Chain A
Amino acid sequence: MASLDIQGVTKSFGATRVLHGIDLAIHDGEMVVIVGASGCGKSTLLRIVAGLETSTSGAVLIDKVDVTPLEPADRDIAMVFQTYALYPHMTVFDNMAYGLKIRRVPKPEIRRRVQEAADLLSIGQLLDRKPRQLSGGQRQRVAMGRAIVREPKLFLFDEPLSNLDAKLRVQMRAEIRSLQKRLAVTSLFVTHDQVEAMTLGDRLVVMNEGRAAQIGTPMEVWSRPADTYVASFIGSPAMNMLPATLAEGGAAARLADGTVWRFTDGARPGGEGRAVILGIRPEHLMPDAAGLAVTIDLAEPLGSETVVHGRLRDGTALTARLPGGIPQEPLILAPDLAALHVFDAADGKRLDPA
């Protein structure tokens, strides 16, 4: 068990800078999920922690020890790869035992640890098989098992669920989470899937173009996104963004069509006329006679609720999650004003009451 500290890590490939100084402290036994669109640098960061990639500057500390100059093998970490990277010519047992064999762990000890891990993952009956005789979910478990037997200080997961079908992914997600909690191993998990990120992480790091846009618990990130990128990335369907200006000295926002919404939590700084963006999650829109008229482009009934993709009168797209079946036009929607997010129109940063 250990802590992980990432201090000012940057990475450039030639002239292209892919990481602009990441700082992150992970406590003992915590699971942190790095989430972001492809190309945001999340995998590079994980590989730097693993030692498979060298950082341009900055340091990685495991258990307060600077491991930046160390080889991957000397960092006492285990990694689960997206493609699992199980050696195809070795049996499941040999795959799991390989790292221990190289570290010259005594044979009976290897057998005991592999058996334990296999029982934990219920793959005990598969130990004699080759990876190609296994299903995707079983391979995933073997990859996990290979990491567990090493009893490392740190688990690294590089999108380990993205090669599974949807149903299995949900199941393995839950298993990984309960396993991680049970073993209480500090973990870093990389994914592009925001649902995975929300459900797995004690904390999230939302990355955008090589920067940590926000670090916080899933609920923090969801309820108080730091900027428009995080706001639209986390949550499904994505948050609606409506351009507006501050009115009433900052205590309210005026939309393009003149509608004025008063903030319930206090005035925003900047004064009259400041350009802002209002963020409204689709689930916070309700039918209300005093709202905005929406023309429906597409309605997706999900059973208990319906996702409505529509347009305001000026053409701005608006998505709403409404309870019940497909609603009838004319549809008038208004937001729950207590759940309104306000962002600066210029730099996209969240604006909180002064």
Chain B
Amino acid sequence: MSATIDVEALAAASRRRRMRERVLTHLALILGVVVFAMPIWITLVGSTHDTDTIGRGDVPLLPGSEAWNNYMHAWAQGGGGRNTFAVPASTMLWNSFIMAMLIAVGKIAISLLSAFAVVFFAFPLRMVFFWMIFITLMLPVEVRIIPTFQVMTSLSLIDTMTGLTLPLIASATATLLFRQFFLTIPDEYVEAAKIDGAGPLRFFKDVVLPLSATNIAALFVILFIYGWNQYLWPLLMVTNRDLETIIVGLTKMIGIGDAQNEWNLIMTTAVFALLPPVAVVVLMQRWFIKGLTETEK
């Protein structure tokens, strides 16, 4: 005995269910987009109005007409904050860019070399050195900020780009990541290179570096953004406003108390501050994802 199956009704039910699922999925996605994109939209829109519009307490949701003026003004002159004179966004962007680049490139260079030493060489106290590097993971910048500042003062590195970047270059995380990756490089490559006559540095340059390319790219993205977003250390280190980074400069533009904030210029500067990290992610995203998800072997 087989019960007759109402194919039509079942198919209709399944169509309805699929439709319901699709609507729900999209609702969730739209909600996510709104939550993430709304602040950025408000910033973008805010950067196109004049000071008074935002000053009145309105939160405009549609672009205004002052975009060109705001961006030109912020780029060339910058917005003034309370008690401070204005620093052009172009200067701050340049400072931030140099700082982020130095930190990212420096961290990668140091970590590559130390991981290479730890993985491919047998020397006394190798694991001790590795653990000493590893332990610094427990000491982020904020914890060691006072002794570091003391050291920088003794070395007269206050208010210099070196002082700004050097203490942030040491990186246990990147060393650890490269070490893990290097451990997956088969011993036979090392042995083949030995027989081919390649010395350690040659092997590093010809085999290890090309194999790590995707990892380096992925780390570069992460570390560039890490460097770009530094706040506390530049705030302490830099008093000369020619070395102001954009994240610090941006917060200094927001006055406390009675002062009238130039919200349109703040928003404009915020948009400037957003662009380089976005550019780095967009340009390197293919490598970035590859570096995090696969190894070329």
Contact = CB atoms under 8 A, between A and B. Distances in A.
A77 interface: yes
A interface, size bucket? 20 to 34
Given A73-B197, A99-B196, A81 B207 contact: no
Contact of B189 (A50, A72, A82, A87): A87
B211 A79 contact: no
A102 interface: yes
B202 interface: yes
Interface in B208-229: 210-211, 213
A78 B198 CA distance: 13
A49 to B, nearest CB: 11
A81 B191 CA distance: 9
A103 B189 CA distance: 18
Given A88-B297, A103-B197, A98 B191 contact: no
B194 A85 contact: no
Interface in A75-114: 77-79, 81-83, 85, 87-90, 98-99, 102-103
A50 B207 CA distance: 21
A79 B191 CA distance: 9
A43 to B, nearest CB: 12
A2 to B, nearest CB: 16
B296 A88 contact: yes
Contacts of A88: 211, 296-297
A99 B206 CA distance: 12
B197 A85 contact: no
Nearest to B295: A88
Contacts, number: 55
A102 B200 CA distance: 12
B296 A89 contact: yes
B206 A98 contact: yes
Contact of A71 (B194, B206, B207): B194
Given A52-B191, A81-B188, A81-B192, A89 B210 contact: yes
Given A99-B197, A102-B198, A85 B191 contact: yes
A73 B194 contact: yes
B140 interface: no
A79 B192 contact: yes
B190 to A, nearest CB: 9
A71 B197 CA distance: 9
Contacts of A87: 189, 192, 206-207
Contact of A83 (B188, B196, B206): B188
A84 B212 CA distance: 20
Contacts of A78: 195
A87 B189 CA distance: 7
A72 B188 contact: no
Q: Which of A51, A71, A85, A99 has the most CB of B within 10 A?
A: A85
B147 interface: no
Contacts of B39: none
A87 B205 CA distance: 13
Contact of A77 (B195, B207, B213): B195
Interface string A209-228: 00000000000000000000
Q: Which of B188, B197, B198, B297 has the most CB of A within 10 A?
A: B197
A77 B198 CA distance: 14
Interface string A269-303: 00000000000000000000000000000000000
Q: Which of A82, A83, A87, A103 has the most CB of B within 10 A?
A: A87
B203 to A, nearest CB: 10
B42 to A, nearest CB: 46
Contacts of A51: 194
Contacts of B213: 89
A87 B194 CA distance: 13
B233 to A, nearest CB: 37
A85 B192 contact: yes
B68 to A, nearest CB: 48
Given A83-B188, A87-B189, A88-B211, A73 B296 contact: no
A39 B194 CA distance: 24
17 contacts: A52-B194, A73-B196, A79-B192, A79-B195, A85-B186, A85-B188, A85-B189, A85-B191, A87-B189, A87-B207, A89-B207, A89-B211, A89-B213, A89-B296, A98-B196, A99-B196, A102-B196
The 8 A-B pairs at the shortest CB distance, nearest first, are namely A73-B197, A85-B188, A99-B196, A85-B192, A89-B210, A102-B197, A72-B194, A72-B195
Interface of A: 50-52, 71-73, 77-79, 81-83, 85, 87-90, 98-99, 102-103
Given A73-B194, A85-B188, A102-B198, 13 more contacts: A51-B194, A73-B196, A73-B198, A81-B192, A83-B188, A88-B297, A89-B211, A89-B213, A90-B210, A98-B198, A99-B195, A99-B197, A103-B197
